[in-house]
């Protein structure tokens, strides 16, 4: 019998399409492997039965063919994410279990040590006693011991043979047993490290911080270097020469609202020195020198600081701060610290200076500079004589004296007249000797001492 039957024909001669019925046989699904692709093709067996609908008695034909069916599985990206999540979960659970295990071990060791200390406490009270245990009794008779059943308390016996019963502190043992049971029960269910007990709540009052001193604090071994300040120099609208009017080295005093104290321009070396506000830092080109880092200074830093400080002090010494016109002379107070006191006056008849043709006596101009900064006293006087006419040449005499002052001076002496006042002026101004001085120099010394109340308030 052939496998495939020819198509049947009807009575009229027309061919009729065969009737086919398909039956799908399902196979067992194979296990999916992780290494397989996201989708694989599986084969399934389909049995087809063919026949004609017109002729029910006609033979049917069956055929078998293979169909490829596609099965979908979990994507690789989702599978990778799931594996990583499981690995992380295992790692976290392992860490928690290890910490709990370590905590239980530490707590158990501490608990055993505490039990040993509390059990051994009665031994320190009862000499030569050996505890048998909690709830047990032991009687010693000579060198033999007999274990007795437990009673209401623990008893010990002395080794002397005298049978004595001592009741141990039941409260201590009960507390130890209760704490041990509670601790073991709590640690048996621990899944995470124990947390410390919360501290009792207490109301805190906000305290205001103490006022802090913002001034510069120097160490105990403060050096001789000091801050470089422009005060009390008046601000300048343009740079002024440091030395003479034709000098290329200039200094510019900045206004109070500026970030810098002053700026020094050195024309010879074409460099500028900037002193910041507060005088604790100078900038020389690209090099910065800070006063607070004095302990780390080298030879270069010390030299630069001393040079800049000397330049500023020289400018202060020749800049007047106050001028006072008095009958005994003209006082000029400089801006240096401490300030210099300059006294200038004339000796002679000032009215005759308006009449140059008249016969005049000698006229003397005296200038005294008292400097506590340099510790010296400078006395300059000039004496001149004039003739009957302007054609006669004038005779002039000039003198300069520089006296080193003593380190200490006392200006609190009482006022006296005559020789006493002259002696007080020597000791008050720090002059050690006046032997060989001119009369004009002694007069200037006396006037400077008489005006001490005017210039002493600037010191």
- Residues forming a β-bridge with 144: 141
* Digit-coded pLDDT (tens) for 197-227: 555 444 444 445 555 544 444 444 555 678 9
Instruction: State how beta strands 61-72 and 240-241 pair.
Output: unpaired
* φ, ψ for residue 441, nearest 5 deg: -70, -40
Count of CB atoms situated within 10 Å of the CB of 331: 21
Residue 97: pLDDT over 70: yes
Please tell me the distance from the alpha carbon of residue 385 to that of residue 398, in angstroms, as a whole number: 12
Helices (H), 253-369: 299-317
Choice among 100-109, 261-270, 338-347, 385-394 with the minimum mean pLDDT: 385-394
Nearest residue to 79 via CA among 49, 35, 45: 35
Task: Domain ranges for the chain, please list them.
Answer: 1-26+40-73, 79-188, 240-292, 320-458
As a whole number, mean pLDDT of residues 292-313 equals 90
As a whole number, mean pLDDT of residues 393-402 equals 82
Residue 229: pLDDT over 80: yes
Please tell me the distance from the alpha carbon of residue 352 to that of residue 195, in angstroms, as a whole number: 105
* Digit-coded pLDDT (tens) for 110-134: 777 766 655 554 444 444 444 444 4
Please, what sign has the CA dihedral across residues 33, 36, 41, 45? Answer: negative
Angle at 423 between CA 417 and CA 425, to 5 degrees: 85
Per-chain mean pLDDT for the chain: 69
Max Cα-Cα span within the chain: 181
Q: Which long-range contacts (CB under 8 A, 24 or more apart) does 182-189 make?
A: 183/107, 183/111, 184/108, 184/111, 187/103, 187/104, 187/107, 187/108, 188/104
* Digit-coded pLDDT (tens) for 419-444: 556 676 677 788 888 888 888 888 99
* Digit-coded pLDDT (tens) for 150-187: 444 444 444 444 444 444 444 544 554 555 545 555 44
- Residues forming a β-bridge with 164: none
Predicted confidence at residue 74, as pLDDT, reads 75
Q: Model-level pTM greater than 0.75?
A: no
First to last CA, the chain: 144
Token pair of 443 as six digits: 């007069």
Count of CB atoms situated within 10 Å of the CB of 168: 19
Predicted confidence at residue 164, as pLDDT, reads 41
Share of the chain above pLDDT 90, in %: 16
Residue 329: pLDDT over 90: yes
Q: Would you say 273 and 252 are in contact if contact means Cβ atoms under 8 Å apart?
A: no
Please tell me the distance from the alpha carbon of residue 74 to that of residue 35, in angstroms, as a whole number: 11
Residue 359: pLDDT over 50: no
Asked whether the bond before 432 is cis by omega within 30 degrees of 0, the reply is: no
Q: Which residue do the tokens 């979908």 mark?
A: 72
* Digit-coded pLDDT (tens) for 41-62: 445 554 555 554 445 556 666 6
Burial (CB count within 10 angstroms: exposed 0-12, middle 13-18, buried 19+), residue 369: buried
Token pair of 69 as six digits: 């069916």
Token pair of 185 as six digits: 């029960």
Predicted confidence at residue 118, as pLDDT, reads 53
CA torsion angle for 348, 353, 359, 362 (degrees, to 10)? Answer: 30
Kind and range of the H or E run holding 325: strand 320-326
Kind and range of the H or E run holding 263: strand 260-266
């Amino acid at each position: 019998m052939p496998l495939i039957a020819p198509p049947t024909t009807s009575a009229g001669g027309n061919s009729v399409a065969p009737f086919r019925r398909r039956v799908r046989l399902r196979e067992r699904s194979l296990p999916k492997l992780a290494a397989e692709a996201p989708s694989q093709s599986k084969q399934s067996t389909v049995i087809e039965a063919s026949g004609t609908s017109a002729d029910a008695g006609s033979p049917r034909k069956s055929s078998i063919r293979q169909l490829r069916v596609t099965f979908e599985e979990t994507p690789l990206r989702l599978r990778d994410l799931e594996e990583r999540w499981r690995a992380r979960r295992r790692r976290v659970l392992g860490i928690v279990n290890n910490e709990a295990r370590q905590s239980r071990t530490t707590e158990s060791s501490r608990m055993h040590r505490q039990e040993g200390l509390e059990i051994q406490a009665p031994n320190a009270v009862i000499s030569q006693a050996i505890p048998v245990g909690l709830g047990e009794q032991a009687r010693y008779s000579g060198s033999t011991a007999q274990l007795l059943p437990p009673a209401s308390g623990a008893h010990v016996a002395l080794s002397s043979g005298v049978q004595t019963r001592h009741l141990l502190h039941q409260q201590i043992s009960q507390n130890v047993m209760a704490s041990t049971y509670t601790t073991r029960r709590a640690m048996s269910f621990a899944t995470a490290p124990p947390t410390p007990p919360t501290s009792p709540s207490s109301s805190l009052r906000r305290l205001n911080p103490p006022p802090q001193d913002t001034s510069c604090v120097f160490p105990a071994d403060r050096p001789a270097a000091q801050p470089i300040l422009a005060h009390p120099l008046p601000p300048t609208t343009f740079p002024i020469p440091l030395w003479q009017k034709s000098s290329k080295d200039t200094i510019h005093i900045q206004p109070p609202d500026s970030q810098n104290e002053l700026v020094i321009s050195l024309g010879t070396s074409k460099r500028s020195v900037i002193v910041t506000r507060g005088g604790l830092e100078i900038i020389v080109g690209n090099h910065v020198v800070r006063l607070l880092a004095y302990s780390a200074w080298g030879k270069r830093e010390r030299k630069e600081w001393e040079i800049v400080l000397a330049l500023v002090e020289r400018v202060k010494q020749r800049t007047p701060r106050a001028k006072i016109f008095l009958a005994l002379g003209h006082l000029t107070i400089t801006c240096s610290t401490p300030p210099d006191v300059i006294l200038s006056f004339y000796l002679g008849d000032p009215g005759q200076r308006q009449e140059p043709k008249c016969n005049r006596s000698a006229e003397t101009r005296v200038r005294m500079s008292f400097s506590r900064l340099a510790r010296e006293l400078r006395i300059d006087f000039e004496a001149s004589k004039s003739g009957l006419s302007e054609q006669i040449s004038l005779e002039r005499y000039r003198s300069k004296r520089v006296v080193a002052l003593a380190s200490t001076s006392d200006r609190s002496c009482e006022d006296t007249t005559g020789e006493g006042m002259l002696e007080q002026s020597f000791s008050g101004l720090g002059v050690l000797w006046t032997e060989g001085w001119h009369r004009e120099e002694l007069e200037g010394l006396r006037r400077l001492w008489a005006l001490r109340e005017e210039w002493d308030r600037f010191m």
